[in-house]
Amino acid sequence: MLNIKKVISFIFECEFRVVAVLSLFFLLGIFFGSFYSCRLEMSSELVNSMISDNLLSVFIKNLLLLSAVFLLGYTVLGTPLIFFIIIYSGVSCGLFLGTFCAFYGFRGALVASLCFYLFYFINFVSIIYVSFSSLRLSIALYNVFKNNTRYVSPSIYSKPHILKFSIFAVFLLVSSLYYVYIARGLALHFI
């Protein structure tokens, strides 16, 4: 019989310090994205075009980011690039939310918090946990090339890495469905 506690602890297995650092990079990206969005010249067409994506494009954009983080785990030098992808994801989130809030004011901030934060939270969690798995695999590969025998072989991390990527890809599909069919409709209705 499948033990739910073991499955959940396997999926969300990570060290708090690593998640805190990765989250800090994401928040840094949100800050820069929000700051930059305040300097943009906004029009209603720009803001409405930001929320008029279809399911396939939303899912592919998010899956490409997750796939890049996943594949960087199999490279020795993937660690610094993972941080840049997390910052890029944060900047994208900050640009969207900052532009939406700046154009529509308090009402836009309220609608954005009700409609879009769940979408970005699921994407954030997916990227953070796959990043942790990728960092662990990348560090194991680095130690193999360095010929350090204290560390475990990277093959131990590869199968769980693939499994976590698959699980979080399903999470991205669910968040994309939420974005397209629920959040976007609610945002367009309230604005």
1 domain-assigned: no
Full domain range(s) for residue 178: 19-36+55-190
Cβ contact 107:191 at 8 Å: yes
Residue 147 lies in a domain: yes
With respect to residue 135, please indicate whether it lies within any of the assigned structural domains: yes
4 found inside a domain = no
Residue 94 lies in a domain: yes
- Would you say 75 and 137 are in contact if contact means Cβ atoms under 8 Å apart? no
* Structure confidence at residue 117 (pLDDT): 83
- First and final C-alpha spacing in the chain: 48
Percentage of the chain modeled with pLDDT above 70: 82
Reply yes or no on whether the pLDDT at 4 is more than 70.
no
Distance separating alpha carbons of residues 100 and 44, to the nearest angstrom: 10
> 110 lies in a domain?
yes
Residue 9 lies in a domain: no
Looking at residues 174-187, what average pLDDT do you find? Answer: 85
Which tens digit of pLDDT belongs to each residue from 68-84? 999 998 887 778 888 89
Query: d(Cα 39, Cα 63) in Å, to the nearest integer?
Result: 29
Total number of domains constituting the chain? 1
Q: What is the CA radius of gyration of the chain?
A: 18
> With 70 as the cut, is the pLDDT of residue 44 above it?
no
Q: Which residue has the higher pLDDT, 111 or 83?
A: 83
